[in-house]
A and B are shown apart, each in its own frame.
Chain A
Amino acid sequence: MRTIKVDRITQVVAELCIRANLFLRKDVLNALRQAYFREKSKMARCILGAIIKNAKIARQKRLPLCQDTGIAVVFLELGQDVRITGGNLNTAINKGIELGYRKGYLRDSMVAHPLLRGKPVFSGGVIHIDLVKGSRIKITVLAKGFGCENKTALKMFKPTAGWKEVKHFIIETVKNAGPDACPPYIVGVGLGGTAEYAMFLAKKALLRKITTTTGYAFNAKLESDCLKDLNQLNLGPMGLGGKTTALAVNIETHPTHITGLPVAVNISCHALRSATTVL
């Protein structure tokens, strides 16, 4: 059995927090470049140009892409043949988040209690651990901005509802976000499972490269259909008009109950920040 020390995990999580925040994902950057060349509106091009330039300055000057360095959401795929030694895994991940946010001069955007609030701190995040086969650990950190997180929506549809209704709900959620959550967006959608699992899928969908599909031809069709409609809304970059309201729609599905159809929408701003390492 392979052993991995918790200290190693702390280090990796810290590095990933910094990497995610400083270097824009290549798939997102490419999509932004393509959108820039597609846009006709002067204002939309000007804003997309600024977003692309921002990524360059962030990389060169080692500055966070956005002042909201997000809430760290850590996804861990833990091979079941790995033994973690030297301490508790959750504690190690949390230590990694705090270390990364401090070391990377990121923002102390977390409060210890949602109602008591208190002084903002660097520590705290959300951890999802999944057991998989094998002897590796895949660690992904998503630095999720909260301007767009605030636009999240969940709806439990009737099982007789179809794609038309579901798509309408996704589009309404984006319209409701409007210019406030930094469009162009990447729209994560979770279909099926339970309420909380649909939500999880919607978030996980944001991790998938925006140029790839899940492999289900049916889902891929839904994604491109929805994206096409979104880009006809004329919301555009910063909500000031244009063809680029969303860069992608990523849909994840899961078996669900005969009685329902959970639909979760988790929007990401153009600053979609995640980084992955496999140990």
Chain B
Amino acid sequence: MRRITSPLTKAQIKNLKAGEEVLLSGAIYTARDQAHRRLCEAVVKGKKPPIELEGQIIYYCGPTQTPPGQIIGSCGPTTSARMDEFTPILLKAGIAGMIGKGRRSKEVVAAIKKYGAVYFLTYAGCAALLTQYVKEKTCVVYQDLGPEAIYKITVENFPLIVAIDAKGRDIYA
């Protein structure tokens, strides 16, 4: 199985094919609905976004509380389609990949192709299992959003399935 690291380079992305399983290592950022709204507001207003976007991977995830002695609470993917309206803006601003569950809109598929990005799935509803691949968690921004804050997490061999590749091939099409 192919192993990839974040931040993603164009060369790494180019090799990925829809349907392929890969293992990801490196730092990624969690963000869901409200964090997307804020990030996009910043980008659209021309303000510097509070996190580095270039080459980064956004994970659509809002973890549970971290129990004592654990690195992170349960941390599976949320429905990606809710982020569709924001995704083209963030792709334009430089993000290289997204991780979530479910289908994406035509606009998102087109934007992924245009910017040479990639959309991954991970095991949906397997949030306890996925904690096993997280090695570190730090809160970055929007702490007031609680579970919807942006967390920087470091993962090792995190299991992914390429769902939409840079050529615009869609596993659900």
Contact = CB atoms under 8 A, between A and B. Distances in A.
Interface of A: 43, 47, 50-51, 53-55, 57-58, 61-69, 105-109, 117, 119-120, 145, 147, 150, 178-182, 238-240, 269-271
A55 B75 CA distance: 14
Contact of A239 (B75, B102, B126, B145): B102
Given A64-B128, A67-B76, A240-B171, A51 B102 contact: no
B125 A270 contact: yes
Given A51-B126, A61-B70, A180 B64 contact: no
Nearest to B63: A67
A50 B171 CA distance: 19
B81 interface: yes
B61 interface: yes
A66 B74 contact: yes
B9 interface: no
B148 A180 contact: no
Interface of B: 34, 61-67, 70, 73-76, 78-81, 101-103, 121, 123-129, 131-132, 144-148, 159, 161, 171-172
A58 B78 contact: no
Contacts of B65: 105-108
The dominant DSSP class at the B interface is loop
A9 B129 CA distance: 32
Contact of B102 (A62, A67, A178): A178
B124 A64 contact: no
B51 to A, nearest CB: 20
A273 to B, nearest CB: 10
A183 B129 CA distance: 17
B101 A238 contact: yes
Given A179-B102, A239-B102, 7 more contacts: A63-B70, A65-B128, A69-B74, A107-B73, A108-B147, A119-B146, A182-B101
